[in-house]
Amino acid sequence: MPVAVTRRTLLSAAAACTTASFAVAQPALGPRPRAGEVRAGAGGTKVVLLGTKGGPRVNKGRANPSNLVIAAGRSYVVDCGYGVTRQLVAAGVEAQEVRTILITHNHSDHMLEVGPLIYNAWAGGLTEPIEVRGPPPIGKIVTNFLESVGYDIDIRMEDEGRPDLRKFVRVHEFEAPPLGAGAATAFERDGLRVSAVRVRHPPITHAYAYRFDAPDRSIVLSGDTTYSPELVALAKGADVLVHEAMHLAGLDRLLSRNPNAPTLRKHLVESHTTTEQLGHVAAEAGVKTLVLSHLVPGDDPSITAAMWTEDVRKNFSGEIVIGRDLMTI
């Protein structure tokens, strides 16, 4: 399968933080863009929360984890939970406009639809390379997906005259520095620097957080993690930190809906960040705005906005935003 997969260890130093003013909780994006055009309301670097519920469960409420970062006129999709393409379209961005996909780690709720997003970009008229960046085994995951739809690709190439999707996909599989070794630059382009750091999300060892440093502002996305000093260091002085949040009081109700996962509580407690811990993270990092996303449980209406922020506020006095699907920060 002609998928270009490169492995490299990130070596350069963590990106320096930038400061800037920013708008919070703007409406969903405006008119649908023309092909090849990125439109996200007013100009500037921003993050759109495509899906704000943690975990693989699908229901009628919040969508599964995914974010869209728009910087320097480009769209960067970070994580591809179930329904990511539909959420992109709802946000006013067509799949074929996406040129870079970043995966924080390879739990299914973060990479389940990386393949379908690539395919949907091709179905929508993709004529340029699309890159996927993330930890191992993302190369194998993408290759296996392309093999699974190989019959369809071949038929459409012959019947519809489409180019070979497999020749457009570029996978950059990399290993971030070990825990405690700091962050490193993943890539730089158009005045944007994207850095990665390894965070603590056992039993997965290759779980990353990303920082986007653009000329106008800095945005950090935690991925899945328990309290991690590495994440605190990455987020120092950031304008916006989008961080996962777990509300302990809701775990019993969540676990009652997952009878086939007897050790799920252990995983959640050891691998995710409680709202009280999150307040410490935001305060220690000195971020300007903290956005709660990847909510666990994200489908429990009995947990009010005040309950989500109560324990965070014990330690963090800055601005707190409870993420909603399609919210623009």
Which of 109, 213, 224, 299 is catalytic? The answer is 109
Whether residue 318 has pLDDT greater than 90:
yes
Q: Given this model, what pLDDT does residue 72 score?
A: 87
Instruction: Kindly report the three-state secondary structure assignment for every residue of the chain.
Output: CCCEEEEEECCCCCCCCCCCCCCCCECCCCCCCCCCCCCCCCCCCEEEEEECECCCCCCCCCCCCEEEEEECCEEEEECCCCCHHHHHHHCCCCHHHCCEEECCCCCHHHHCCHHHHHHHHHHCCCCCCEEEEECCCHHHHHHHHHHHCHHHHHHHHHHHCCCCHHHCEEEEEEECCCCCCCCEEEEEECCEEEEEEECCECCECCCEEEEEECCCCEEEECCCCCCCHHHHHHCCCCCEEEEEEECHHHHHHHHHCCCCCCCHHHHHHHHCCEHHHHHHHHHHHCCCEEEEEEEECCCCCCCCHHHHHHHHHCCCCCEEEECCCCEEC
Whether residue 159 has pLDDT greater than 50:
yes
The yes-or-no answer on residue 325 being catalytic is no
Mind listing the pLDDT tens digit for each residue in 111-150?
A: 999 999 999 999 999 999 999 999 999 999 999 999 999 9
Q: Could you tell me the domains of the chain?
A: 18-174+191-328 (3.60.15.10)
Mind listing the pLDDT tens digit for each residue in 76-123?
A: 999 999 999 999 999 999 999 999 999 999 999 999 999 999 999 999
Q: Given this model, what pLDDT does residue 36 score?
A: 30
Q: Given this model, what pLDDT does residue 182 score?
A: 93
